[in-house]
Amino acid sequence: MVPALAFTVDGRLDLPTTRRYAEHAARTWIDVFLLSGSTTRGDLLTVADRATLIDLWLEVLPAGRLMACCWEPSDVTEAGARGVPAMAVMDHVSGRAQALDFFAGLPRNAFVYSHPMFGGAVLDADLAETAHTRGVLPAGGKIAKIPVGDVSQLRKATGPRFRLWDGSSRHIEASIRAGASGVVATPLSPLPTPFPDRHPTLVQRAVTGIQAELDALPTRATRTALLTARAREQLTSPTPPSFDGGPR
């Protein structure tokens, strides 16, 4: 999974640039593009803007290669109306009881986004096991800031059908061995050239350098700015990004 970038001019969505970016992204082998996620500060957009981005990407890619990050209930409705899986952010979910109610209120095919920065409950093995027992476990989730050892415990608690995305691509092979279904490769969001072939070692090599640059920056805003600037460079290059075929 790669967080899709969104481009703005004077605080408004730059749809032509975002579409060119989506067209380049569609030619890569990436399985899923996450729309309006925290990487691109989707929380700062309006519900209407986030729905507009879904519509734009659906003109380029099938719904099966998209996931909509949902910051409020209306986002879940908009994604569902378009047949795009929703990833509901566990924002201000204060404890276990509220988390279970949150899960129960989601569509059965919905995912969740769990991150300690949101405050409150996170989807750990204990919560997942309870949700599984009560029949309210989501279809999957992006789990951020989770050690590799905890990936294994979470996989045991969720069972094999849960689509478990490790929110980090710092240790891809270890994450997969521990039970992750896949990883979220934020450093690939600028669509670097050359784009790595689909092999864990090659992807790891491609993401590690960019990840180090991101880790050295002080804020989420500065990291977003770096990724967006890199993507703009790719899109405005005299030689546009060239990828070896589509998804495999």
pLDDT at 204: 97
Which pLDDT value is given to residue 120? Answer: 87
Tokens standing for 54?
């879904």
DSSP-derived 3-state class of residue 113:
strand
Distance from the first to the final alpha carbon of the chain: 14
What is the number of alpha carbons within 13 Å of residue 45 lying toward its C-beta?
A: 29
Pairing, β 182-183 against β 12-13: unpaired
One digit per residue, the tens of pLDDT, for the chain of length 248 reads 999 999 999 989 999 999 999 999 999 999 999 999 999 999 999 999 999 999 999 999 999 999 999 999 999 999 999 999 999 999 989 999 999 999 999 999 999 999 999 988 999 999 999 999 999 999 999 999 999 999 999 999 999 999 999 999 999 999 999 999 999 999 999 999 999 999 999 999 999 999 999 999 999 999 999 999 999 998 987 655 555 544 44
**Residue 53 placed within a domain:** yes
| Residue 125 belongs to a domain | yes
pLDDT of residue 236: 85
Per the document, the length of the chain is 248
Q: How far apart are CA 168 and CA 239, in angstroms?
A: 30
Domain that holds residue 102: 2-236
Tell me, yes or no, whether 246 lies in a domain: no
Res 232: pLDDT: 94
The total number of structural domains that make up the chain: 1
Q: What is the CA radius of gyration of the chain?
A: 17
Task: Give the separation between CA 138 and CA 86, rounded to whole angstroms.
Answer: 10
Assigned domain for 243 exists: no
Beta bridge partners of 68: 35, 86
pLDDT for residue 199: 94
- Residue 28 and residue 195 in contact, taking contact as beta carbons nearer than 8 Å: yes
Q: Which CATH number covers residue 124?
A: 3.20.20.70
Q: Is residue 165 part of a domain?
A: yes
**Does residue 27 form part of some domain?**
yes
Residue 244 lies in a domain: no
Is the overall model pTM greater than 0.85, yes or no?
A: yes
pLDDT at 195: 94
Is residue 105 one of the residues assigned to a domain? yes
